[in-house]
């Protein structure tokens, strides 16, 4: 059983936490569990690199030395963007501290980053969505995609090009970058529905890739750039379509039903890969480009627990990868295909989400 914990906090706290784990005792946030289940046969040298909780969407730099993620610290009213070393050290905030941030990614060369933020519309973060409508995700028209240096300086919007305080445009977020660095995928309501688009890194040459009513989101390129994968839900009945449109008009979407789809990189030949029921999301191609790793709750009757799975592009060969028993999500392989990063609640109290890395064993 591999038990190594590091964090951006002081060495004394990290050592104390590691000792608690080794002894099977509680840590500063409550009881701790093993970070590697023996059934996770594709994962070796599993490491928990943060211990503060509150992390999401941790993604590799191109050289595999750093990660970008979103997190909330102390009295922050909303998530901001952070960059940290791959061992969890030297964590630094790289967003402005205003508004609400999500969906960070490194650009080719690792000297610049992308992230979505509402700070250009207002320094005050949007209010959380109304849960009386059920479990919904916000798709605020105040999000814009920003490009900045890796230390956070020089931040400027690339889509839309102009962001004015108090003026809403459309939802722009969920940006990822191709392996050659020449194209960016993102999700937007630019044409009135949640669709996938691609563009150049400067925000030019915008191309729409999907055109079906419903939620198309979380797009990623295959390693060779020839294909894309994304999560989607397309309402089938009149009632479903009406509910979808009504929620979208309120800048909301229900994520409880989603499947994984793939297409050519220009959006042609779209096809459904998973048919699992529940919510399948956060897809990423395996290093060989022949399968997809993603998170799903289809195995849980209560639909509350998420684990990582892989599946071949033809929809066969479904295999469970993680056994964290609550929440394992946001997987991404390093560009060399040797490591996996993901976020998990496996070693702490409920909803205490940290960043984990592992060596990948095909």
- In order along its 362 residues, the chain shows pLDDT tens digits of 223 333 333 333 232 333 333 323 333 333 445 799 999 999 999 999 999 999 999 999 999 999 999 999 888 999 999 999 999 999 999 999 999 999 999 999 999 999 999 999 999 999 988 888 788 999 999 999 999 999 999 999 999 999 999 888 999 999 999 999 999 999 999 999 999 999 999 999 999 999 999 999 999 999 999 999 999 999 999 999 999 999 999 999 999 999 999 999 999 999 999 999 999 999 999 999 999 999 999 998 888 899 999 999 999 999 999 999 889 999 999 999 999 999 999 987 777 899 999 999 99
How far apart CA 266 and CA 285 sit, in angstroms, is: 17
- State how far the alpha carbon of 337 is from the alpha carbons of 183, 205, 284, 296, in Å: 20, 30, 12, 22
Q: Are 45 and 358 in contact (CB under 8 A)?
A: yes
How far apart CA 333 and CA 352 sit, in angstroms, is: 23
Task: Please count the residues of the chain.
Answer: 362
| pTM of the predicted model as reported, rounded to 2 decimal places | 0.89
DSSP character string of 59-79: EE-TTSSEEEEEE--TT-SS-
Find, among 342, 361, 359, the residue nearest to 50 by Cα. Answer: 342
Query: Which phi and psi (to 5°) does residue 11 adopt?
Result: -60, -35
Rg (CA), the chain: 19
Token pair 């211990």 is found at 51
Q: Are 311 and 273 in contact (CB under 8 A)?
A: yes
How far apart CA 24 and CA 196 sit, in angstroms, is: 45
How far apart CA 174 and CA 189 sit, in angstroms, is: 12
Domains of the chain: 11-360 (2.120.10.30)
Four-point Cα dihedral 22, 339, 354, 180, nearest 10: 160
């Amino acid at each position: 059983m591999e038990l190594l914990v590091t964090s951006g906090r002081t060495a004394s706290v990290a050592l104390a936490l590691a000792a608690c784990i080794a002894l099977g005792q509680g840590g500063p946030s409550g009881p701790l569990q093993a970070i590697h289940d023996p059934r996770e046969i594709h994962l070796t040298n599993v490491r928990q690199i943060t211990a503060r909780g509150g992390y999401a969407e941790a993604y590799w730099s191109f050289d595999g030395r750093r990660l970008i993620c979103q997190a909330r610290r102390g009295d922050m009213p909303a998530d901001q963007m952070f960059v940290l070393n791959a061992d969890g050290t030297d964590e630094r905030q790289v967003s402005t501290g205003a508004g609400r941030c999500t969906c960070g990614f490194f650009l080719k060369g690792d000297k610049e980053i992308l992230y979505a933020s509402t700070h250009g519309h207002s320094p005050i973060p949007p209010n959380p969505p109304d849960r009386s409508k059920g479990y919904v995700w916000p798709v605020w028209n105040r999000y814009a995609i920003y490009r900045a240096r890796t230390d956070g300086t020089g931040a400027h919007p690339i889509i839309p090009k102009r962001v004015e305080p108090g003026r809403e445009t459309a939802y722009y977020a969920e940006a990822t970058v191709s392996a050659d660095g020449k194209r960016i995928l993102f999700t937007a309501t630019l044409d009135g529905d949640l669709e996938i688009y691609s563009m150049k890194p400067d925000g030019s040459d915008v191309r729409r890739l999907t055109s079906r009513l419903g939620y198309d989101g979380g797009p990623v390129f295959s390693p060779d750039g020839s294909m894309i994968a994304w999560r989607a839900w397309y309402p089938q009945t009149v009632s479903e379509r009406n509910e979808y449109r009504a929620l979208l008009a309120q800048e909301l979407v229900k994520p409880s039903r989603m499947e994984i789809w793939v297409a050519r990189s220009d959006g042609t030949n779209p096809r459904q890969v998973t048919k699992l029921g529940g919510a399948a999301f956060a897809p990423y191609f395996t290093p060989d480009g022949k399968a997809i790793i993603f998170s799903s709750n289809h195995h849980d009757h209560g639909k509350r627990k998420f684990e990582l799975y892989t599946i071949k592009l033809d929809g066969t060969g479904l295999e469970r990868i993680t056994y964290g028993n609550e929440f394992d999500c946001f997987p991404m392989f390093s560009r060399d295909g040797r490591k996996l990063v993901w976020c998990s609640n496996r070693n702490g109290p409920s909803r205490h989400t940290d960043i984990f890395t592992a060596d990948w064993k095909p």
